C-alpha cells in the first residue's frame, strides 16, 4: 500500500488525522477505545500516521452522537473535514476507526482524496517495517484478508468480460470475481507457508528444550522501549527508535544472569489498542514465542500519560490468546508475568516510577541502565522458584557430568575431595530428572 501515500510532486504527503469518538458517559455500547481521553487517542493516531512518513497538516477529534452507516460521521462533520482537506491540500485522510467499504468509498467521494482507516494504517506501517521473510508473509496475509472485503471499491471496470469460443462463448468472470479468486488462492498459499514457519519454530523450541535454557519474552505496548531494553540487557544492536512498531520480527539472544544461569531473551512485536483481527491471526507464529516463554516481561512506558490504559490493552490481547479451543497461552500465564516499568528517567528516577506500579513491578530505565541489575536478580529469583536444591557427588574423572551441572543448573557450593567432587546444585524438576537418567548404570 505504500504507493498510495506517494506524493508525485516530491516531499512528504500532506495528511489529516480524524478521530471519531463517543463520550464515555454515553449509555449503550461504547465506541472502541472510549475509556481513553480523546486527546491521548488522537496523539497516538497522529504518531501512527507520522511513522509512515506523511506530513500531518491537520488533525481533529470529532464527537459522535450516532454512527451513520453511510459515512460514520455526521453531515456537518463530513463538510468541515472537506473544508480542511481543501484548505491544507490534503491527499490522505486517516480515520482512526474501523470503516466499512461503503463508508470508506463515500468519504473518499466527499473529500476528494484517499481515505484509510485504522486497520489500513497499521497494515501500512507493518508493510514498511517487516524485514524477514516471515514478517513479510504475515503482513501480506493480513493485508489480503483486509483487501478482500474492499474489492467492491477498488475497481471501476466491473463490466463482465466475454470469454470462450462458439458454444463456450458468453459472459465470463468479472474483474472483481477474478481478483477475489486470485486473492483467495494467494491466501491459501500464504497460510500453508506460515504453517511451515510454525512447524519450524516448534522444531527450534524442541531443540532448545534438549539443551534447555529458559526463555524470557518481552511484551508490551508499541514504543514502550522493549527493543532498547533488549539491547541494554544483551549488548545487541537491534533496531530501536522512538516510533511505533519499530520491531516486527522476533529477535533472540542469550544472556547470563547473576547466578551464572543462561537464558534466552526474545524481543517481540508491540501491541496496540484495537489491534486488527487480521494481524492477531497473521502474527500467531510470532506470538507463539510468548506462549512458550518461561517468564513474560511486560514492559510498560510508565511515563506515558495513558500507561494504565496501555497496560489494559496488552493484558486484553494476552487474555484473548488464552481463550478458546485453539488457545496459544495456558490459563496460568499470569503466574509467569513480571511487570517492568520502563522510562523511569523521564519521571525523575526509579522511586518516582515505582510509585506508579504495584506488586512485584520493577522500575528501570533502559536508556540509562538504572534498575537493570535489580531486574536481572528478579529474573533469577523468578526462574529459581519451583527449582530444587540437591547434593551430588561426582567422581573427579567425570568432568563431563560436572560440566553438565554447571551448564544446566546453578552450582551453589563445591568441595573438591580426593575421592569425589561434592556439589550443591539448584536444578529444575526437568533437569533433575535428566541428571538422574545420566547417573543410571
* Residue 420 Ramachandran class (φ > 0 left, ψ -120 to 50 alpha, else beta): beta
Q: In the structure grid, which three cell numbers stand for residue 154, read together?
A: 477498488
HSE of 348, CA atoms in CB hemisphere, 13 A: 4
192 is in an annotated binding site: no
Q: In the structure grid, which three cell numbers stand for residue 298, read together?
A: 511486560
210 is in an annotated binding site: no
368 is in an annotated binding site: no
385 is in an annotated binding site: no
106 is in an annotated binding site: no
335 is in an annotated binding site: no
225 is in an annotated binding site: yes
344 is in an annotated binding site: yes
350 is in an annotated binding site: no
Q: In the structure grid, which three cell numbers stand for residue 255, read together?
A: 544472556
> CB of 351 within 8 A of CB of 364?
no
Q: Which of 5, 44, 90 is nearest to 221 (CA)?
A: 44
222 is in an annotated binding site: yes
277 is in an annotated binding site: no
345 is in an annotated binding site: yes
Residue-wise burial string across 200-221, b where 16 or more C-beta atoms lie within 10 A, e elsewhere: ebeeeeeeeeeebbbbbbbbbb
242 is in an annotated binding site: no
221 is in an annotated binding site: yes
> CB of 108 within 8 A of CB of 115?
yes
64 is in an annotated binding site: no
227 is in an annotated binding site: yes
49 is in an annotated binding site: no
248 is in an annotated binding site: yes
413 is in an annotated binding site: no
268 is in an annotated binding site: yes
- Please list the residues that pair with 116 across neighbouring strands: 94
245 is in an annotated binding site: yes
| Interacting residues of 351 by C-beta distance below 8 A, sequence separation 6+ | 363
The residue assigned the cell 454515553 is 26
Annotated binding site: 220-227, 245-249, 267-270, 342-345, 365-367
Annotated binding site for Mg(2+): 227, 247
Annotated binding site for GTP: 220-227, 245-249, 267-270, 342-345, 365-367
Amino acid at each position: 500500500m505504500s504507493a498510495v501515500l506517494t506524493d508525485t510532486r516530491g516531499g512528504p504527503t500532506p495528511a489529516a488525522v480524524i478521530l471519531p469518538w463517543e463520550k464515555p458517559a454515553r449509555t449503550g455500547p461504547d465506541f472502541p477505545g472510549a475509556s481513553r481521553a480523546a486527546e491521548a487517542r488522537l496523539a497516538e493516531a497522529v504518531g501512527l500516521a507520522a511513522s509512515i512518513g506523511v506530513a500531518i497538516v491537520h488533525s481533529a477529534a470529532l464527537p459522535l452522537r450516532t454512527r451513520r452507516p453511510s459515512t460514520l460521521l455526521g453531515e456537518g462533520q463530513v463538510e468541515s473535514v472537506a473544508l480542511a482537506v481543501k484548505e491544507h491540500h490534503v491527499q490522505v485522510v486517516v480515520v482512526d476507526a474501523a470503516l466499512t467499504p461503503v463508508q470508506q468509498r463515500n468519504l473518499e467521494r466527499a473529500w476528494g482524496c484517499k481515505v484509510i482507516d485504522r486497520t489500513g494504517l497499521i497494515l501500512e506501517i507493518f508493510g514498511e517495517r517487516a524485514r524477514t521473510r516471515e514478517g513479510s508473509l504475515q503482513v501480506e496475509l493480513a493485508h489480503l484478508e483486509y483487501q478482500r472485503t474492499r474489492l467492491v471499491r477498488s475497481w471501476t471496470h466491473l463490466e463482465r468480460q466475454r470469454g470462450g469460443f462458439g458454444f463456450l462463448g458468453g459472459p465470463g468472470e468479472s474483474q472483481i470475481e477474478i481478483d477475489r479468486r486470485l486473492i483467495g488462492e494467494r491466501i491459501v498459499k500464504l497460510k500453508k507457508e506460515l504453517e511451515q514457519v510454525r512447524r519450524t519454530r516448534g522444531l527450534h523450541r524442541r531443540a532448545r528444550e534438549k539443551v534447555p535454557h529458559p526463555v524470557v519474552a518481552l511484551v508490551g505496548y508499541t514504543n514502550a522501549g522493549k527493543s532498547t531494553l533488549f539491547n541494554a540487557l544483551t549488548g545487541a544492536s537491534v533496531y530501536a527508535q522512538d516510533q511505533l512498531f519499530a520491531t516486527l520480527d522476533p529477535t533472540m539472544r542469550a544472556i547470563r544472569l547473576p547466578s551464572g544461569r543462561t537464558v534466552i531473551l526474545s524481543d517481540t512485536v508491540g501491541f496496540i489498542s484495537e489491534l486488527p483481527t487480521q494481524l492477531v491471526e497473521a502474527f500467531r507464529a510470532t506470538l507463539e514465542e510468548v506462549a512458550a516463554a518461561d517468564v513474560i516481561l511486560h514492559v510498560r512506558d510508565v511515563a506515558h500519560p495513558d500507561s494504565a490504559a496501555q497496560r489494559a490493552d496488552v493484558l486484553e490481547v494476552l487474555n484473548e490468546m488464552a481463550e478458546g479451543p485453539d488457545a496459544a497461552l495456558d490459563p496460568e500465564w499470569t503466574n509467569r508475568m513480571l511487570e517492568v516499568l520502563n522510562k523511569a528517567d523521564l519521571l525523575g528516577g526509579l522511586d518516582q516510577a515505582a510509585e506508579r506500579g504495584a506488586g512485584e513491578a520493577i522500575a528501570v530505565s533502559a536508556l540509562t541502565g538504572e534498575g537493570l541489575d535489580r531486574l536481572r536478580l528478579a529474573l533469577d529469583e523468578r526462574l529459581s522458584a519451583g527449582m530444587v536444591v540437591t547434593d551430588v557427588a561426582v567422581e573427579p574423572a567425570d568432568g563431563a557430568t560436572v560440566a553438565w551441572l554447571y551448564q544446566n543448573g546453578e552450582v551453589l557450593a563445591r568441595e573438591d575431595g580426593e575421592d569425589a567432587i561434592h556439589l550443591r546444585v539448584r536444578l529444575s524438576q526437568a533437569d533433575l530428572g535428566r541428571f538422574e537418567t545420566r547417573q543410571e548404570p
